[in-house]
Amino acid sequence: MEQISDRVRRLAASATFAMAQKSGELSAQGVDVVNMSVGEPDFNTPDYIKKAAFKAIEENYSKYSPVPGYLSLRDAVVNKLKRENSLDYTPAQVLISTGAKQSLCNAVMALVNPGDEVILPSPCWVSYPEMVKLAGGVPVIVRAGIEQDFKINAAQLEAAITPKTRAVMICSPSNPTGSVYGRDELSSLAEVLERHQNVFIISDEIYEHINFIGGHESLAQFGGIRDRVAVINGVSKAYAMTGWRIGFMAGPEWLVKACNKLQGQYTSGTCSVAQKAAEAAFNGPQDDVERMRSVFQKRRDLIVSLAREIPGFEVNNPQGAFYLFPKCDYYFGKSDGKSIVRTAEDLAMYLLEVGHVATVGGTAFGSPECIRLSYATSEEKIIEAFRRIKDTLEKLR
Ligand code: PMP
Ligand code: GLU
């Protein structure tokens, strides 16, 4: 008998990983698929980071680490936050976790009681609403369409806050839209949040370094809300280290302590060797980060120009991350004579099965009129993907 809890039964599976798996299955059958589904840098982890991991193994970093992470890594995070973000934290205000994903989930679990509302500017990453639901909270979706570059404004935020609002989760640069909140935009959101003392801010900055406007801004820089912000970041995207699974939270000590307790029962301190590698990443030369960033920017220019040539695609000009989120409902209701495309998910499946290009339907991100393409892949593959997308979509009438 299957005895799955209601909690897990209600949980949606990750749409990003589901499409990545489908794409992988097709490739395993020998089909040449261009995979633009899952979002992870296609670069290798820089050599100086790999060397630090070899060294850690040789030096027998093989025992349990402290639950919040090695002090030397938390020091490296404190220095990074000072150096790159002009933010002051102590090591006691930093918690290392198994990816930024666990840092986010820790924060939600530690903050949200059943029935509490959590504001999610949408489109948002697929895991946010599911994390909130896991905690028994209620996701409150605040929509920002392509006409406002997928960014919410102060009036929308203000209107969504109720006495039940416990937190807001903001991601900039954004997955899935690539939109980046500038200083003035964040400042106007911070002004609203300053008036609502019971609302906590979870600021997901995992794409910090994949930024095409010259600088990253964090909500934690605004003094009036600073003690209610948890900065979430990690090494996955900036250092091409998705598989190493290191993320962190920097925030008020009471929250870090609560997450430490949770993590102590749930996962313990994360992988010792990966922590030493992450320490090297933060402390070492940062040239590789800039090298990868500028490659992403060139690819952004390429993909935006290719997408603008596709009839029925409407796109913004993403200022960060490595995603394009075209509005494509023009195709809904059209058919190639065999199957009818009714939804973004149908369109993503059609592109995969007929065009052999893997994307992700927008519904799981809160935008059923869009699909997401990750351009963390080579220029040749991006060009080939768009050749296929164009040919495949031309068959729909
Ligand atoms: N936040 C966002 C918006 C992401 O896209 C990702 C990538 N999966 C994460 C957090 C989690 O990153 P990590 O690999 O460090 O868990
Ligand atoms: N952030 C990536 C994505 O959105 C990785 C997959 C995931 O964790 O959802 O595709």
pLDDT digits (tens, 9 = 90+) for 305-334: 999 999 999 999 999 999 999 999 999 999
Smallest CA-to-CA distance from 344 within 357, 360, 356 is with: 360
Can you tell me the mean pLDDT for 16-23?
A: 94
With a cut of 90, say whether residue 1 has pLDDT above it: no
Could you read off the pLDDT of 162-186 as tens digits, one per residue?
999 999 999 999 999 999 999 999 9
Residue 374 Cα: closest atom of ligand 2: 10
- Quote the ligand 1 centre to 2 CA distance (angstroms): 31
How, if at all, do strands 371-374 and 323-324 pair?
Answer: antiparallel
Contact by Cβ (8 Å): 375, 299? yes
Supply angle C-alpha 252, 253, 256, rounded to 5: 95
Q: Can you give the pLDDT at residue 150?
A: 98
- Quote the ligand 2 centre to 16 CA distance (angstroms): 6
Residue 103 Cα: closest atom of ligand 1: 16
Q: Can you give the pLDDT at residue 300?
A: 98
Could you read off the pLDDT of 337-362 as tens digits, one per residue?
998 999 999 999 999 999 999 999 99
Report which bound ligand comes closest to the CA of 124.
1
Confidence (pTM): 0.97
Q: Can you give the pLDDT at residue 168?
A: 98
CA-to-CA distance for 84 and 28, rounded, in angstroms?
42
- Quote the ligand 2 centre to 176 CA distance (angstroms): 9
Which whole-number Å values give the CA distances from 63 to 67, 156, 352, in the listed order? 12, 49, 44
CA-to-CA distance for 12 and 228, rounded, in angstroms?
29
Q: Can you give the pLDDT at residue 54?
A: 98
Nearest CA to ligand 1 atom 12: 100
| Cβ 175 under 6 angstroms from ligand 2 | yes
With a cut of 90, say whether residue 148 has pLDDT above it: yes
Residue 174 Cα: closest atom of ligand 1: 3
Q: Which of 175, 241, 244 to mutate to test the pocket of ligand 1 (most atoms within 8 A of CB)?
A: 175
- Quote the ligand 1 centre to 206 CA distance (angstroms): 6
Domains and CATH numbers, the chain: 6-44+288-393 (3.90.1150.10), 61-283 (3.40.640.10)
Find the helix packing angle between 379-394 and 344-353, rounded to 10°: 110
